[in-house]
Structures are given as structure tokens and as C-alpha cells.
Structure 1
């Protein structure tokens, strides 16, 4: 599969400048980089306007879990950053001024890009620019899961109607992380993944989730990070952002956290919150 991306840039730009890479949300199983629906295009609509202020905006694709097993999506995100750095002269992108923004699953990918580097298992070997450093200069995380283990082990129906993920998680017949991890019940006597864990098995699945949880990799050596979350988020609990922020502060990292009490799981936390996020990127890149 060829990974694709769209580049938005002011036609008047002639010199390499800052770049924001956007990773879409959708539970790692839904959505696309073209942002074809108005509900999910809210970020690209506003981000594209930043080209008037000198930023290049890249909307990136990555393999969904139906196309390649998790964590291929993380490897794809890393590969795109490497590619943009290697070919920055072609895209008029300054490799030292690349930032990321993502919402939901896209925030998870953005966090993994921002918080990890130099680990072959996490960086992966996707693409032709393996000599490049996939680190970034800033990150904005909209209501992203930071602890996949705790999220996978939580149960209960989630009403996501009206949010950016619509009702893709409305069914409890198959757990969300069974799909994400490619779990086949038929190979485990028909047991659900939750039951497997209850019975003390399936630790290899938990280890994958732990390794690819942003909170696992917190240290003081990270780029500036802005974390945003809504108090009425029915899919990703507010604690994911609160705990990540606390861990970053304890580690001495440059972190900012903003929550909106009435915000849900997208498709936006409101124009004021979004404006704050875009100004953060402009100031840090």
C-alpha cells in the first residue's frame, strides 16, 4: 500500500518554513486523510487557513487496522516525518520546524511521534528515509488516549453519537481493542479479549498496548506539548489527558493542558480552544 498525503501551502511561499502534520482520528479503524465529511473536516478547514500565516500543512494517511495490524499506524506516522525531513527542500519545509497535531487516535499517533525516538520497535522501518530522525518540534493532542492498557480494560457502552467518531463503537459484541489488535476469538475457544485477561492470559496483547501507550515514554526530553480535552468526552476519559500532563510536568517537560468542561469527543472543542491550539503551533514552530 502506498501512503499518501496532501500538502497545503501558500503559493507565495518561496523559502523553507514551518510545517504542521495532521493525523486524523477514528479509533485507528475509520477516517481518511482527505477529510471528506464536514463533521471530520473541521481541523483541516482551520489548519489550511494557517498557510496564510506561513505554515505548510500536511494531512497524512496511515494504515488502518483493517489494512495492517496495530502498531503499523505508528510506524507510518514516523515514516511520514522522516520523509518530510528528507525531502524538505522539495516541499519548502524546514526540517527543524515540523510539528504534529492529531485528534483522538490521531492524537495518539502524534503523541507517539513526539514522545518516542530512537527505539527501532517503535520507529519501525517503513519508507526509504531510515537515516532521518523522526522527532518533531511541537505537538498538539486533542482528546487522545494516553494509556491503551487502561482503555482496553475498561468496559461499558459508549455513546459516541454526534461526536466525530459517530457510532463506530456502539456495538459491544466485539470489543474495540479486539478489532485494533486483530484478536481472533476462534483461536481462544471463543473467549473475548476481556475474558482472556480476566483469566490471566493474553499478556502479550497487554504488552503491545503498554509499549505503544504515550504515557509509557514520558521523560523531560520532549518537544513542547499542548494537551486538549473535553469534560464530557464519552469515549476517551479525561483522565488520559490529566495523567499524561501530570507525568510530563513531573518529568520537567514543557507541557500545557487545557480542558473545556462542556467539550465532548469532537468534532471540535470550540473556536476559542482551537484558536489557542493554532497559536501554540505558530509560536512554537
Structure 2
């Protein structure tokens, strides 16, 4: 009795550095949720994941890419800062008729800058590649980040292949043949000019917890390389032309980790370049809006800005 070998499996090799979306989960609220999608892979690193939440709609909707904070050292796509409830953030976006895309990215001790920006741009390109599957309008994508994520959101809005030095910051992670541009940016208390922060004293770490300097950990390299690396990683470096998306900068005036002046510097640079920029101070608030009496108006204003500029 002879036994034939199984037919060869028809597959692409090597496989692409991303995976097509799995079928969505549909909730009772009509929201379709695509969870844990692999938008980029690199040998030796954990897969980069994103979640997509799409409100019920009869046609494709605009999308907002949310980038979490955590000093580029920690954080998780599923959790906003502790001052902002998940239901508040997600609910406000979805009720405005916007899809919400929450992304992870490589932390700085996994890979220094620009790996984090490469990942953010790869996530945007992935959303564009599969926009039809998600029910997203690929021409109406905005980005919103807080703290480290605000820094990356600003860079995503300012850096493109046509900007001097931008091609190297575009990266080739994941989907590499789609556009990574965005139509609007919301930056909550993000860093805009790293050089002035390198010698800044940081708040003490909690007892028993060792915490690296987030700025030097992000930049990597030797001390002699820090000035140039900080210039390349600073959003203000690229705020030089009017062809930038509208920006909303929201920052606590008593921020002890990222000074309020960081958003002032970026707002001034964008204004001088002819860009549309709104700076919204939160009086007396520290980092992550600690001390603000109510974060709901901050979230509402941010969502309204995105809905207006994305045509929701």
C-alpha cells in the first residue's frame, strides 16, 4: 500500500511583517471591535498590536489613532491615564461617530527612538491598508496621544517623507506602501523640545522602584550624541511649514514632569509657520491632569476638535 505525501501548503514565504485583521466582535451596542491585531512584527521583539472600535454606521467613518503614554518606558494601548476613565474616552469618541484605534509600540528599553515613531506610522499605514475591512474612511484619520504618546502624535502629524530628515523617521515596519499622514492632531502634555529636558531634575521615583531617566532612555547613544539625537526626536524641529494638520495642544499649567512651556514652544513654532494651532491650558493641573476638577470637558473638547476636522 502506498501513501502519498500531503500537498504543499500554498503560503507566502517569508510571511509579511503584519497579519490581516481577524473577524470583529459585535457587541450589543452595535460597535464592532477588532482586538489584538498584529500590525507589525520584527524578529526578536513582541508583535505590535492594535485594537479597532468602529461605531455602527451606514458608511465608512473617520478614525482616531490613540497613542498611550508612560514615559516611552511602559504603558498599554488598553488603558488611558488613571485620571481618564476608559468608558469616558472610548464612549466620547464612538458617540461622535469616530472609530477609535488604540496602539501599542516598542518601549525605549526594547529599542530607542525612532522605533516608537516607526511603530506609530506603521499602525496608521495598517489602518489605511485594511480600511475597507474596518469600515473606516482612509482619507480621514487623526491622531491623539498623551504624554509620551502626545510626543509621538505630534511627530506623526509633522514628519513625512517630504520633510527634511523625514524619510528616515518614516520607517519600514509592517505595511510599507501606504501613506502615514494624518488630518488632525491632539497632543496632551507631550514633549516638544527634548534638549532642554535632558538636565532637568525629575520627580523622585516611588519607594523601592527604580525608574530610568525617560528622556535619555528614549534617545539612547552616548552623552556626546544626545544633542543631535534630541534635535531629531523633537517635534518643534519639524514645525517649519504651513502644510501641517491642525493641532490642539492641552497641557496642565503646573505640570511637574513635562513643563507647560513645552506646549507653548510648539504652539509658537506652529503659529510662526502658518499652521492652525490651539493651545488649551488646564489651570493648576499637574501631569496627566492631576488636580483638574473634572476631566470630562477636556475629553469633550478634544473629541469635538477631532470630529470637526475629520468631518464626523
> What TM-score do you get using the length of structure 1 for normalisation?
0.83
Q: Does 1:112 align with 2:134?
A: no
Q: Does 1:247 align with 2:269?
A: yes
- RMSD in angstroms over aligned alpha carbons? 2.2
Choose which of 192, 196, 199 in structure 2 pairs with 1:146: 192
Deviation (angstroms), 1:179: 2.4
Q: Are 1:264 and 2:283 counterparts?
A: no
On the 8 A contact 1:39/1:267 being kept in 2, the answer is: no
Name the structure where helix makes up a greater proportion of residues.
1
Please, which of 217, 241, 253 is the counterpart of residue 179 of structure 1? 217
Matched, 1:157 2:202: yes
- Matches of 1:213 and 1:179, distance apart in 2: 15
Name the residue aligned to 2:72.
28
Is residue 136 of structure 1 aligned with residue 158 of structure 2? no
SS across alignment from 1:31: coil
Pair 1:159–1:283, CA change in 2 (3 A): farther
Of residues 21, 44, 52, the one that matches 1:7 is: 52
Give 2:236's aligned residue: 215
Tell me, yes or no, if the aligned pair for 2:54 and 2:135 is still in contact at 8 Å: no
Alignment correspondent of 2:309:
284
Cα 1:130–1:44 shift into 2, 3 Å: farther
Which SS does the other structure have where 2:226 is aligned? helix
Q: Which sits farther off after the overlay, 208-217 or 63-72?
A: 63-72
Q: Are the aligned partners of 2:92 and 2:303 in contact in 1 as well (CA < 8 Å)?
A: no
> Residues 175 and 53 from structure 1, CA distance in 2 versus in 1: closer, same or farther, beyond 3 angstroms?
closer
Rate the CA distance shift 1:40–1:60 in 2: closer, same or farther, 3 A: farther
**Deviation of residue 274 (structure 1)?**
2.0
- Tell me how many residue pairs correspond in the alignment: 256
The equivalent of 2:108 in structure 1 is: 65
Aligned match for 1:93, one of 136, 141, 146: 136
The answer to whether the 8 Å contact 2:81/2:288 transfers is no
Q: Structure 1 residues 38 and 207, CA, compared in 2 at 3 Å: closer, same or farther?
A: closer
Deviations 1:125-169 (A, max 9, x none): 111x322111101010000000011112x3223258xxxxxx59x
SS at match of 2:116: helix
Where does structure 1 differ by over 4 angstroms across 4 or more consecutive aligned residues? Answer: none
Higher relative contact order (CA 8 A, sep 6+): 1
1:190 alignment partner in structure 2: none
Distance in 2, matches of 1:276 and 1:250, equals: 24
C-alpha displacement of 1:41 = 5.5
Distance (whole Å) between structure 1 residues aligned to residue 308 and residue 249 of structure 2? 16
CA distance in 2, matches of 1:61, 1:101: 13
Provide, for residues 8-64 of structure 1, a one-character-per-residue CA deviation record: whole Å limited to 9, x for no partner: 122x324211101100001100111121x8716536642343213311001111011
Q: Do 2:62 and 2:99's aligned partners in 1 also have CA atoms closer than 8 Å? A: yes
Distance in 2 separating the partners of 1:272 and 1:247: 26
For residue 124 of structure 1, what is the aligned residue in structure 2?
171
Does structure 2 retain, via aligned residues, the 8 Å contact 1:26–1:105? yes
Q: Determine which structure has more spread, i.e. the larger CA radius of gyration.
A: 2
Q: Structure 1 residues 44 and 66, CA, compared in 2 at 3 Å: closer, same or farther?
A: farther
